[in-house]
Structure 1
C-alpha cells in the first residue's frame, strides 16, 4: 500500500495494488476509485482534502479497509 498527499492538487491518493488501472469512477463528490481489469479497487483518490473534516477522513479510511 502506498499513500501520497499531493499538496498542490489538494488530494490524497491511496494505492492498494500496483496493477494496471483500467477504469475509474467518481463514487461520491471528490472520491474516485480506480479499478483493475478484474473490477477490484486498486486506488482511492480523495480530492478537496483541505475542505474535509478530520472525522470525514477517518470515516473514509475506515470504510476503505
Structure 2
C-alpha cells in the first residue's frame, strides 16, 4: 500500500497567494505585450480573487459578496 507524503505548510494560504500574485506581476512587467504576459496577469488576478474568497469564507458573519 502506498503512503501519502505529507507536507506541513509554513506560511498561510493568504501569504502564499499574495507572494505568487506579486511574483507573476513582476514577471509580466518584464515581458512585451502578448499572450504570455496576459496569461501571467490572468493568473495573478485569479490568485487575488482566491485571497478574497478565502477571506470571505473565514469571516465571522459569512455575508454574501457584494
TM-score, reference length from structure 1: 0.28
Normalized per residue, which structure has more strand? Answer: 1
TM-score, reference length from structure 2: 0.27
Larger RCO (alpha carbons 8 Å, 6+ apart): 2
Normalized per residue, which structure has more helix? Answer: 2
